[in-house]
Amino acid sequence: MSIIEAASSAITYKKILLAEDDEDDRLIFSAIVNDLGNASDFVFETVENGIDVIQYLKRHEEELPSLIILDQNMPRMNGRETLAALKADDRFAHIPVVIYSTYNDSRLINECMTGGADQIITKPDSFEGFRDMILKLSARYLQDANPALKHKSA
């Protein structure tokens, strides 16, 4: 195999950062991501709130996530506040941000989209709902990261 062939077949590493204060939801996300993908080519990290998101990004500036998913209702710094902080910082403003919430309020959607969110999603209420959401998000934002995710999302 030539160097060019080896480089073109190299795995592209992708990372999702989830900010979620509910431990059960973090565990569901982790279980689904681990089931869908090979940990060697897909990285999934979790934090508990918006302040932790900012601190995480500052510690990992060399390996920023490909996607950030923010729960809207978190203590200390909610999803909208975190989104505003991310979009105000040139180091992080380019990272796609998805906000998810238990309620589907038109004012929240408008504020988040105006504030730079890439997508607003209603939080699923079942394991299968979470699985479908993760598949759709991976197809949209991470399709080149993991062939298993790409295949299963089609």
| CATH label of the domain that carries residue 63 | 3.40.50.2300
Q: Please give the helix or strand (H or E) that residue 100 lies within, else none.
A: strand 97-101
Residue 146: is its pLDDT beyond 60?
Answer: no
Q: What number is the average pLDDT over the span 71-80? A: 91
Q: Is residue 87 part of a domain?
A: yes
Q: Is residue 132 part of a domain?
A: yes
pLDDT band at residue 42 under the 50/70/90 scheme:
low
Q: 85 vs 29, which has greater pLDDT?
A: 85
Q: Is residue 144 part of a domain?
A: yes
52-87 as b/e: b if 16+ CB within 10 A:
bbbebbeeeeeeebbbbbbbbebeebbbbbbbbbbb
Q: Is residue 125 part of a domain?
A: yes
Classify residue 11 by its DSSP letter: P
Q: Is residue 100 part of a domain?
A: yes
Domain count, the chain: 1
User: % helix / strand / coil in the chain, to the nearest 5?
Assistant: 50, 15, 35
Classified as helix, coil or strand, 16 is: strand
pTM for the complete prediction? 0.81
